[in-house]
Amino acid sequence: MTLTACKDCSAQISTDAKACPQCGAHNAAAFTGRRIAGLIYLGLIALAFWWIWGLMTPSTKGQAVTEADFGAAWPLTVPAAELLCEGSPPAALAKVDGKLYALNGSARTAAAEKGWLDGAALTKPNPEVPGIPMDVSPLVERAQALCKR
């Protein structure tokens, strides 16, 4: 049992006592441990909410890709795009001029609900097979890798 001086009458009182036995003044020392514990609990609760928020918020990290990265295998009609990945199953997206384009089936399924455009609008025709668009799977794989980060 540790003793401390009362702030009002200077009598020696226990740090466990809630009030001074002589004058009845509130003993702040008796509540210091509770205050610290309360702050720790509030901090843990805030950390838990922050963690849950991070799990529920889709990642906005993207990866820039350009025609120079792929050479003749570049499947898009634009010279560059930012690849994004959202959700589960992973929806592969290409961001061009502020617009999002769905590149894979998961993204196309969610496109109407999310307001995404169809990536087929950006895809070049395949020079080797007329009437078939170029393969965007290398872009889809890179975008889906972003969801695994």
Residue 4 binned pLDDT confidence (cut-offs 50, 70, 90)? confident
Q: What is the pLDDT of residues 51-94, one digit of tens each?
A: 888 777 655 578 999 999 999 999 999 999 999 998 888 999 99
pTM to 2 decimal places = 0.60
Dihedrals phi, psi of 123, to nearest 5 degrees: -85, 130
Q: Looking at the predicted structure, is the pLDDT value of residue 14 above 90?
A: no
Helix-strand-coil split of the chain, %, nearest 5: 40, 25, 35
Domain ranges of the chain: 3-56, 63-147
